[in-house]
Structure 1
Amino acid sequence: MSDQLSKHIIKLVPSLEEEIEEIMSFFELEYFEERAQILEEGHNVSKYYFVNKGCLHLYFNDVYQNQNTIFYALKRWWITEYHAFLDNSKAEFGISAIEPSEVLSITKSNFEKLLVNHPLMGIYFNTIHMRAYAEAVFN
């Protein structure tokens, strides 16, 4: 299933095709059952996820402990708690699986190594973030 991410990367940054096998070595395949808790509010964020199959959501609990979804990550989408992932702070939001899901994860340290060893991956991540922003703001 890592084929989906490989194709996605090459589609957005074709010049990475020769490096794709090494790029994929930075990721780990993981499976989550329906309702699996992937990240809890107040915990450290150590991974960034690419959804191969299934659906994850980013949420916060209100004062009544109801989950309020902020974002759904479907097939070929990325998800993490960005502030905490980037700043090494505690998560303000949680992530859980809506349905059985298969993801590729990358740790914070591997993410940093990936960007150092394959600088064009910065273009890939910039492109996906610009697309996500455009979807959120303009649709």
Structure 2
Amino acid sequence: MMHLADPITQPQFYRDVAGKRFMAWIVDTVIIGLICALIVPFTAFLALFFWVGLYAVVGFMYRTITLAIGSGTWGMRLMAIEIRDSSGARLDLGQAFLHTLGYTISWAVVPLQLISIMLMATSNRGQGLTDIVMGSAALNRRARA
């Protein structure tokens, strides 16, 4: 049975992960915004009135699908990190959905997001609140090899 790498004996798995997650979040935010912008004309521009809702739905779908397919969003892949479950395996669709749900709830409840950011910056595995609840962690992809 596989397990997540130990941050003390194998720090290369977690080195700079918090910063990489932030950069990945920026990339993903831009990608989701572009996808939404492409959708707007197909709604006769009515989606502009519901931009926040459109962004939330597209973002939820984008994160769930990309986490389920590659255990990382396109931004995470660009930054060479991926999310692994507590056993060290890639996320399946159900886990990707739950991870995205936790992320979305954290954004909806600002104190939860602040706690999550603090945890990512200070925990030895760089885990956010959702990661801690699920037992998952972001790992450097190159460290796996």
Query: Which TM-score bucket, shorter chain as reference?
Result: under 0.3
Structure with higher Rg: it is: 2
TM-score, normalisation: structure 1: 0.26
Looking at secondary structure, tell me which structure has more strand per residue.
1
TM superposition score normalised by structure 2: 0.25
